[in-house]
Amino acid sequence: MIPKTKPKEIVALSGARALPPLMIVLFHFSEGHHYSGIPAIDLAATRGYLWVEFFFVLSGFILTHVYGAQASALFTGRGFGAFLRARLIRLYPLHLFMLLALAGLVGAARLLAAAGGYRSIYDIAYHPDISITGFVASVFLVNAWNTLNTLTWNGVSWFVSVELALYFLFPLFLWLAKAKAWRGASLVAAGLAGLVALDLTSKHGLDITFHNGVLRGLADFSVGVGLALLFEHARPLGRLPAAAHSAAQLAVLVWLGWAVYRTGWSHTPKDILTVLPLMAMVFVLAFDKGMLAEALKTRLPQRLGAWSYAIYMGQTFWLQALRIFEQRLYPPADTMVLGMKFSTLIWGLEPAVLIGVCVAWGALLANFVEHPATAWLRRRYQPKLDREVAATPS
pLDDT digits over 291-331, tens only?
A: 999 999 999 999 999 999 999 999 999 999 999 988 888 88
pLDDT of 385 > 60? The answer is no
Helices and strands in the chain, H and E counts: 17, 2
Q: In angstroms, what CA-CA distances link 257 with 261, 327, 361, 369, 382? A: 6, 37, 30, 36, 43
Task: Encode pLDDT of 192-246 as tens digits.
Answer: 999 999 999 998 999 999 999 999 999 999 999 999 999 999 999 999 999 999 9
Task: Report, as an integer, the average pLDDT of 52-77.
Answer: 88
Task: Report, as an integer, the average pLDDT of 87-110.
Answer: 96
pLDDT of 3 > 80? The answer is no
**What is the pTM (predicted TM-score) of this model?**
0.92
d(CA 35, CA 22): 16
Beta strands in the chain (DSSP E): 336-337, 340-341
pLDDT band of residue 345 (cuts 50, 70, 90) is confident
pLDDT of 288 > 80? The answer is yes
Q: In angstroms, what CA-CA distances link 52 with 57, 128, 189, 278, 285? A: 9, 21, 19, 10, 17
Q: Which amino acid is at 132?
A: I
d(CA 283, CA 280): 5
CB atoms within 10 A of CB 343: 14
Q: What pLDDT, on a 0 to 100 scale, did the predictor assign at position 238?
A: 92
3-state secondary structure of 204: coil
**Strand partners for 336:** 341
Q: Which amino acid is at 218?
A: L
Task: Encode pLDDT of 148-176 as tens digits.
Answer: 999 999 999 999 999 999 999 999 998 88
Q: What pLDDT, on a 0 to 100 scale, did the predictor assign at position 393?
A: 41
| Residue whose C-alpha is closest to residue 359's, from 16, 15, 17, 21 | 21
φ/ψ of 340, rounded to 5, equals -140, 160
Q: What pLDDT, on a 0 to 100 scale, did the predictor assign at position 112?
A: 93
d(CA 22, CA 146): 27
* Averaged confidence pLDDT in the chain: 91
d(CA 163, CA 312): 14
Residues in CB range of 350: below 8 A, 6 or more apart: 29, 33, 322
Residues in CB range of 141: below 8 A, 6 or more apart: 92, 95, 157, 160, 161, 164
